[in-house]
Chain A
Amino acid sequence: MPTTSTLTRTSAPALPVSLDRVSRTFRDTANEPKPVLRDVSLEISPGEIVSLIGASGCGKSTLLRQIAGLDRPTGGQVRIDGTAIDGIDQRVAVAFQEPRLLPWRSLRQNVSLGLPKGTARVEGQARVGALLDLVHLGEAAALRPRQVSGGMAQRASLARALSRGPGVLVLDEPFGALDALTRLKMQDLLIEIHSAEPATIILVTHDVDEALYLSDRVVLLGVDADAPSAGAGIRSITSVPGSRPRDRGDARLAELRVELLDGLGVPSHHQPQPH
């Protein structure tokens, strides 16, 4: 359980996450058990960026919800810094695919929603101001969500998650609803944020290029072809070479991209060039 010292800390150090045989089974309408995740085990080091990819409906978001404490696993446990999480955890902050800003609050007030309970007013305001600057929203702080673009709203949502001072940042398709160009800019911003506010980042994405550009490791989730109704597990873990910021045109990334797309069941039609 978080202690008072973590509550008042403005920026916690990055924390390790370990998934220990995490399983989640839902009940369908006929009350039949329907396994979605089965025995997912993964060790994530402090400060690491890990992407979860997989076909639609394979349980990526479900896994993320276990880490964020928005859902509880039916088997196994999620540990952060050695302690199992049980429900919403102060050490984890989350951003969703939709910005989910409260429409009646200004961006500044929305960001301050994320401040940990008991943050002193002055300290909180200073931190919110700094985060708004970090996501380049200093000028727009007084605007309401409906007055800003989708990219700006999503940056505010990121700043809100960061205002929690999280040890672990959980992002569920954070740039999925943005246009292609804004998405690239947001990826660079995330790298910028990660160096300014180091946290362990776990993100779900549909975009293989995004996963390779941002992550240290890319985790491919999927069901076993032999037992498709047993729930999804980890199919492969890919370590991404190089350090951030990476070259978007890196040939090594292109090779990995082909592999991952094949793993996702999308033929890449890639013909190796004869030398």
Chain B
Amino acid sequence: MTIVKDEARLNPAPVPPARESGAGAPPTLRQYVSQLGYAAAGSEAGPQPRADRLRPWLVVAGFVVPLALLALWWFLTEFSIVPAHRMPSPQRVLDAAVAMTADGVIFGHIAISTQRVVLGFAAGSLLGLALGAWVGLSKWGSAFLSPTVGAFRAVPSLAWVPLLVLYLGISEDSKVTLIAIGALFPVYTTVAGALRHVDPHLVELGQAFGLARLGLLARVQLPAVVPSIVSGLRLALAQAWLFLVAAELIASSVGLGFLLVDSQNNGRVDRLFLTIILLGVLGKTTDALIGLLERWLLKRWG
């Protein structure tokens, strides 16, 4: 067999475009075939890459399922397939929202719940970061603390509730503490694990240039684990909302969890639905905020 230079045998053979694109000039699809059996195809200088054109549609796609669920909900209630005392119609939930907005009650619940989440999340994740850094970096820190923290983590966190109520009373402190406990462990686990596996080459490099302990932590080790810290924070935030509702369900007189219990007791199924939707929206919004932080951090430190 004789091998001939590919380029000499490449015959550009224009073929019709595979499909018309909606906007702009249709890209010309060219097919290249070599006599050695190689083939390649590609559009010449297309107006924009496929991914860019798809983008708006991908965003729209995210709304398809919620709208379908809403339609299903409306269908089930409108034709009384599910009785109204078990499932309120979308209109009734909207009415409840309007009523509670009008007298301002809902804002009090949202504000206090958000405050509890923010405080508990901040305290828990800072503590988790410190504990994780200690256990992840120090042999002795790990030897002393790792088994104990592991045991505390194994306690189902709701088991702390009676003790917290006994010690701290039915107060803000007990709720914020519970949320902090919930937020602490995801951050602790991810940070400690990631710090153990920072590229030893980079750590040695830092040491070779005179960095040690806190300097090494700040300049090399923490920046290297920024992606893990952020994913730990995301998990912690989800936990914080979870524990908020738990804390408020058990002992509170205001807040979204209280609103759930209260609505249950009064048979206000429309308010129950409203609260659940609110919790979803708030959780998703705070998660999106962390997502923004993540994008900024990864751009800076990634």
- Interface on A for B, CB 8 Å cutoff? 68-70, 88, 90, 93-94, 96, 98, 100, 102-104, 113-114, 116-117, 160, 164
Contacts and interface: CB of A to CB of B under 8 A. Distances in A.
A116 B219 CA distance: 15
B209 A114 contact: yes
B201 A102 contact: no
B134 to A, nearest CB: 23
Contacts of A164: 209
A70 B204 contact: yes
B208 A102 contact: no
Interface string B260-302: 0000000000000000000000000000000000000000111
Q: What 5 A-B pairs are tightest by C-beta distance, nearest first?
A: A104-B301, A100-B205, A94-B208, A104-B223, A100-B201
A183 B58 CA distance: 48
Given A102-B220, A104-B301, A104-B302, A96 B205 contact: yes
B210 A117 contact: yes
Interface in B184-212: 201-202, 204-205, 207-210
A70 B210 CA distance: 11
6 contacts: A69-B208, A88-B208, A90-B210, A96-B201, A102-B223, A104-B301
Contacts, number: 37
Nearest to B226: A104
Nearest to B215: A117
A68 B209 CA distance: 10
- Among B210, B224, B226, B300, chain A packs the most CB atoms within 10 A around the CB of B210
A94 B207 CA distance: 11
A113 B209 contact: yes
A98 B201 CA distance: 9
Given A93-B209, A100-B204, A104-B224, 20 more contacts: A69-B208, A70-B204, A70-B207, A88-B207, A94-B208, A96-B201, A98-B201, A100-B205, A102-B219, A102-B220, A102-B223, A103-B302, A104-B223, A104-B226, A104-B300, A104-B301, A113-B209, A114-B209, A116-B210, A164-B209
A226 to B, nearest CB: 35
A204 to B, nearest CB: 15
Contacts of B301: 104
Interface string B218-255: 01100110100000000000000000000000000000
Nearest to B204: A70
- The winner among A69, A104, A113, A160 for most chain B CB atoms within 10 A is A104
A93 B300 CA distance: 28
Contacts of A103: 302
Interface in B140-158: none
Contacts of B210: 88, 90, 116-117
A152 to B, nearest CB: 17
B202 A102 contact: yes
